[in-house]
Structure 1
Amino acid sequence: METHSITTVVLLACGSFNPITNMHLRMFELARDHLEDTGQYRVVKGIISPVGDGYKKKGLIEACHRLEMAKLATENSGWITVDYWESLQPEWVETAKVIRHHHEKLLTAEQNNDEVDTVKYTKKRRIEENYFEGSSHQKRRDSPQLMLLCGADVLESFGIPNMWKQEDIAEIVGRFGLVCITRSGNDPYKFIHQSDMLWTYRKNIHVVHRVGDQ
């Protein structure tokens, strides 16, 4: 009997979160439901990484306040957490570097035999996890796959000249993967088809439609 392999996933959302909203949290839920409904993935953690003050965006609330608001917004979540690293950097950090940082943290945690799952994992999810691992003895536990969670505007920004380094786009989409939450008026499939880079890595791009968006 063929063993069905499930890929463990950690979702990472970068942005200003100025301030964090219910839709930001909803994006994590939509992404998790979409990935797990494929039967190929199990999402164990979501990470919110607010930009630091070095981003210097007009109207940007101080990082300490944005972090506190994000922390309050996620305090009742069993799997979404807030990470402080990016916001504490003195200069703006490119998204690709933020992803590399979190990837290294995941590798270090795996090497130290630490649990990648958030400490606040809910009881229900723990029961599901035990069942999953108990029924998959032949599956080797690999390091989780880190995916960038974003909106369609970020995906389309890949096509704006000089906004992104081409090697960063290739690394983000080709090495890690992308979960894109659409909104009304966006056509991510058309944009992916028109981009040689994104078309090359199209299998690593997961498009999730919000309710009412087709």
Structure 2
Amino acid sequence: MENSEKTEVVLLACGSFNPVTNMHLRLFELAKDYMNATGKFRVIKGIISPVGDAYKKKGLISAHHRVIMAELATKNSRWVEVDTWESLQKEWIETVKVLRYHQEKLEAGSCDRQQDSPVLERPGQKRKWVEQRQDYSQKKPLEPRKGVPKVMLLCGADFLESFGVPNLWKSEDIAQIVEEYGLVCITRAGNDAQKFIYESDVLWKHQNNIHLVDEWITNDISATKIRRALRRGQSIRYLVPDLVQEYIEKYNLYSPESEERNVGVILAPLQRNAAEANSNNFSDDITLVGRERTMENEESY
């Protein structure tokens, strides 16, 4: 199949990145290899989008530091970059809205797209985009026009299973993510992602838009374990990029004190969605995982 017949894809990874790890970067490489090998897609770009401080996750350090570490980690990448829009929002933004933002950004910039680059905004154009498109969250996603890349959500299997945590996600958001955008999910030992999809009517309905990628070279690196090692004064070399390690050490970012940040604060999505719990029956058709386990492991990748 010629490149012109393939769907161009932009992989978007949302999460805490607290801190960014080598495994976060491997996600992009694994997903790119898999999607390109299908013969139907051509991955042209990867985006890391750190969540904002308003997410209120326990131990979540400032977005300012998390963004800088992600930028250091991708400094030498030719195709993965960091986007700061989500991290700069005063309120927590649902993942589906972040996907919508990036898809509409691609749509708006398609006229300016250069043949050799999928980056759509010209220098100085980003602020204008944000000012003009503040109503993006109220609109339904549009089917990408021909020639406009498709944004897909890149995640790990723990992220997929978090769909089953009560009040963590809105049912309509989950349906929209898998139907309108699609998932590229990296699986690993201990995660039965296919079974999870089978036990959900909504995920099963859109299973063709969920791409499961086996990680054969297993790696158990997680941001949680890295923070634990740092609190105990243990080395994290080769677990994170060298520049990230140097930055962490320079600013002494992770400590017992930093891990207590947001203790006792309800996670933003749980707080926002709790009011709709009685009318939200989506999670009933999913095999629920333990909330504490999922919230602990959601940043493993």
Q: What TM-score comes out, normalization by structure 1 length?
A: 0.85
Distance, in Å, in 1 between the alignment partners of 2:4 and 2:107 is 24
Equivalent residue for 1:187?
A: 192
Equivalent residue for 1:27?
A: 27
CA displacement at 1:170 relative to structure 2 = 1.0
SS across alignment from 1:67: helix
Equivalent residue for 1:107?
A: 107
- Counterpart AA for 1:110: S
Distance, in Å, in 1 between the alignment partners of 2:178 and 2:103 is 14
Distance, in Å, in 2 between the alignment partners of 1:158 and 1:61 is 24
Structure 1: gaps spanning 5 or more residues: 120-139
CA displacement at 1:57 relative to structure 2 = 1.2
Given that 1:10 and 1:43 are in contact with CA atoms closer than 8 Å, whether structure 2 keeps it comes out as yes
SS across alignment from 2:26: helix
Given that 2:3 and 2:42 are in contact with CA atoms closer than 8 Å, whether structure 1 keeps it comes out as no
1:158 aligns with one of 142, 160, 163: 163
- Counterpart AA for 2:215: R
Bigger drift between 4-13 and 41-50 goes to 4-13
CA displacement at 1:32 relative to structure 2 = 0.3
Equivalent residue for 1:132?
A: none
SS across alignment from 1:58: coil
1:175 aligns with one of 163, 177, 180: 180
CA displacement at 1:162 relative to structure 2 = 1.9
Distance, in Å, in 2 between the alignment partners of 1:160 and 1:64 is 28
- Cα gap change, 1:19 to 1:3, in 2 (>3 Å): closer
Distance, in Å, in 1 between the alignment partners of 2:175 and 2:58 is 29
SS across alignment from 1:78: coil
Structure with the bigger percentage of strand: 1
Distance, in Å, in 1 between the alignment partners of 2:78 and 2:9 is 15
Q: What CA RMSD, in Å, does the superposition of the two structures yield over aligned residues?
A: 2.0
Establish whether residue 145 from structure 1 lines up as the match of residue 150 from structure 2: yes
Residue deviations 1:110-140 (CA, integer Å, cap 9, x gap): 1334565259xxxxxxxxxxxxxxxxxxxx9
Between 1 and 2, higher relative CO (CA 8 Å, sep ≥ 6) is seen in 2
CA displacement at 1:54 relative to structure 2 = 0.7
Establish whether residue 8 from structure 1 lines up as the match of residue 13 from structure 2: no
Given that 2:157 and 2:191 are in contact with CA atoms closer than 8 Å, whether structure 1 keeps it comes out as yes
Given that 2:177 and 2:183 are in contact with CA atoms closer than 8 Å, whether structure 1 keeps it comes out as yes
4+ aligned runs moved over 6 Å, structure 1? none
Distance, in Å, in 2 between the alignment partners of 1:94 and 1:113 is 28
CA displacement at 1:17 relative to structure 2 = 0.2
Percent identity for Structure 1 against Structure 2 = 61
- Counterpart AA for 1:31: A
Establish whether residue 91 from structure 1 lines up as the match of residue 84 from structure 2: no
Distance, in Å, in 1 between the alignment partners of 2:44 and 2:106 is 12
The number of aligned residues is 192
- Counterpart AA for 1:44: I
Given that 1:51 and 1:63 are in contact with CA atoms closer than 8 Å, whether structure 2 keeps it comes out as yes
Establish whether residue 55 from structure 1 lines up as the match of residue 55 from structure 2: yes
Larger radius of gyration: 2
Distance, in Å, in 2 between the alignment partners of 1:141 and 1:161 is 38
Equivalent residue for 2:135?
A: none
- Counterpart AA for 2:29: E
Q: What TM-score comes out, normalization by structure 2 length?
A: 0.61
